[in-house]
């Protein structure tokens, strides 16, 4: 087969066939590795009680298959004789590819371990804290890994990393001054994380804005106000700001005056007190303590002061609606008449 020895661009047809064979073999081998991992390794990991092996198996499938293919491609290219100008492009490209693949694999693995261990902690903590910590730490992990990968790549491409770091050191003061606000925001975000004045999903009043906390990032906190607007507040304000956390109050106090007509007998006043107690106790989410007192003589009615508590903060309006409806219905059945405002018109 003399035709196999025919040379094009410093390589014989045989060399090109070997290149194609190695490349196809690497592709097929990568597919086989991925399928074996999915079918056997991940399945066996799912049968165990530990979730850590599930995580490692799931995280490692795609990166390992890509590493196999890239290694095969590297070997295939080495089987060819390539000109110097092309080698100066191809081999640095491999360095870039290996670095990116390595960084992606490390970030994927560390993020998976982070979610695994923080989720275990969150089983006995608040879900908002878990979400908050995960988002912030994933950003920090990604930034750190990519900085290290960038320095590794620069060093392997032949640049002097030490002189680069020295240059960054000389400009460090200027950079610190320019990024003062950014550093303040990062410090504020960790203040929120550690002190925990609020979590994602909680209702707060913060810097004059009342609403629900939607996101807490490294730079700012986003609050959805009651009227639907999205407010972004820099985290640098957190250490010195007063935050009213509405969601963390143990219960909500309801206080109002109920007026009944003047000709109501004392017996019916006592009966009204009983009916109000029953209405509050019958409503879901209300506390056991109910205070009803005959507190005064108004201009046109007798005044009963009612104080009770709603334990479930998510049912404040529903609770008041249910209690008021029951009071209205029970008063109507017992013949206890509520008063209404009267207006006296003077005639000249």
Domain C-terminal end among 221, 248, 275: 248
Same domain for 275 and 221:
no
The answer to whether residues 67 and 99 belong to one domain is yes
Residue 154 lies in a domain: yes
Query: DSSP code of 336?
Result: P
The pLDDT value given to residue 236:
83
218 and 144: one domain?
no
Is residue 112 located within the same domain as residue 9?
Answer: yes
Domain boundary among 230, 248, 266: 248
User: Rounded CA gap, 24 and 17, in Å?
Assistant: 10
- Three-state DSSP class for residue 79: coil
Contact 203, 212 (CB under 8 A): yes
The two structure tokens encoding residue 228: 């639907």
Residue numbers of the domain that contains 45: 2-168
Are residues 194 and 104 part of one domain?
A: no
Asked if 10 and 61 sit in the same domain, the reply is yes
Q: What is the CATH number of the domain that holds 276?
A: 3.30.70.100
Element (H, E) at 205: strand 203-206
How far is residue 150's CA from residue 100's CA, in Å, rounded to a whole number?
A: 9
pLDDT reported for residue 61? 62
Strand 203-206 vs strand 209-216: parallel, antiparallel, or unpaired?
antiparallel
- Decide if 14 is inside a domain: yes
Return per-residue pLDDT of the chain as tens, 348 residues: 666 666 666 667 777 787 778 888 878 877 777 777 666 665 665 555 555 555 555 565 667 777 777 888 778 777 777 777 777 777 788 888 888 888 887 887 777 777 666 665 554 445 555 555 666 677 777 778 888 888 877 777 777 666 666 655 545 545 454 456 666 777 777 777 777 788 888 888 888 888 888 888 778 889 998 888 999 988 888 878 888 887 777 788 899 999 999 989 999 999 999 999 999 999 888 888 899 999 999 888 999 999 999 887 777 888 899 999 999 999 999 999 998 765 444 554
Measured over the CA atoms of residue 154, residue 157, residue 158 and residue 159, the dihedral's sign is negative
Q: Hey, which residues does 306 pair with through a beta bridge?
A: 256, 292
């Amino acid at each position: 087969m003399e035709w196999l020895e025919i040379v094009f661009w410093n390589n014989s047809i045989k060399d090109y066939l070997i290149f194609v064979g190695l490349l196809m073999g690497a592709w097929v081998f990568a597919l086989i590795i991925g399928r074996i991992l999915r079918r056997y390794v991940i399945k066996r990991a799912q049968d165990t009680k530990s979730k850590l092996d599930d995580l490692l198996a799931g995280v490692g499938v795609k990166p390992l298959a890509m590493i196999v293919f890239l290694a095969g491609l590297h070997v295939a290219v080495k089987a060819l004789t390539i000109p110097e100008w092309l080698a100066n492009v191809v081999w640095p490209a491999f360095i870039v590819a290996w670095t990116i693949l390595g960084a992606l694999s490390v970030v994927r693995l560390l993020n998976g371990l982070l979610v695994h261990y923080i989720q275990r902690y969150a089983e006995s903590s608040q879900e908002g804290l878990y979400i908050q910590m995960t988002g912030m730490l994933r950003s920090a992990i990604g930034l750190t890994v990519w900085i290290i990968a960038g320095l590794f790549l620069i060093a392997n491409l032949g640049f002097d990393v030490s002189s680069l770091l020295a240059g960054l050191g000389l400009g460090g003061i200027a950079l610190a001054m320019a990024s003062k606000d950014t550093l303040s925001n990062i410090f504020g975000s960790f203040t929120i994380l550690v002190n925990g004045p609020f979590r994602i999903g909680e209702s707060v009043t913060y810097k004059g804005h009342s609403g629900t906390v939607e996101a807490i990032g490294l730079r700012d906190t986003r609050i959805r106000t009651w009227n639907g607007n999205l407010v972004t507040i820099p985290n640098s304000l957190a250490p010195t700001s007063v935050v009213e956390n509405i969601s963390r109050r143990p219960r909500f106090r309801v206080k109002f005056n109920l007026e009944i007509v003047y000709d109501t007998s004392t017996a019916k006043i006592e009966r009204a007190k009983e009916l109000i107690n029953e209405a509050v106790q019958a409503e879901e989410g209300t506390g056991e303590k109910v205070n009803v007192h005959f507190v005064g003589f108004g201009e046109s009615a007798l005044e009963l002061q009612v104080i009770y508590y709603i334990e479930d903060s998510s049912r404040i309006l529903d609770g008041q609606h249910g209690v008021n409806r029951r009071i209205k219905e029970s008063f109507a059945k017992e013949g206890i008449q509520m008063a209404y405002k009267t207006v006296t018109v003077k005639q000249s």
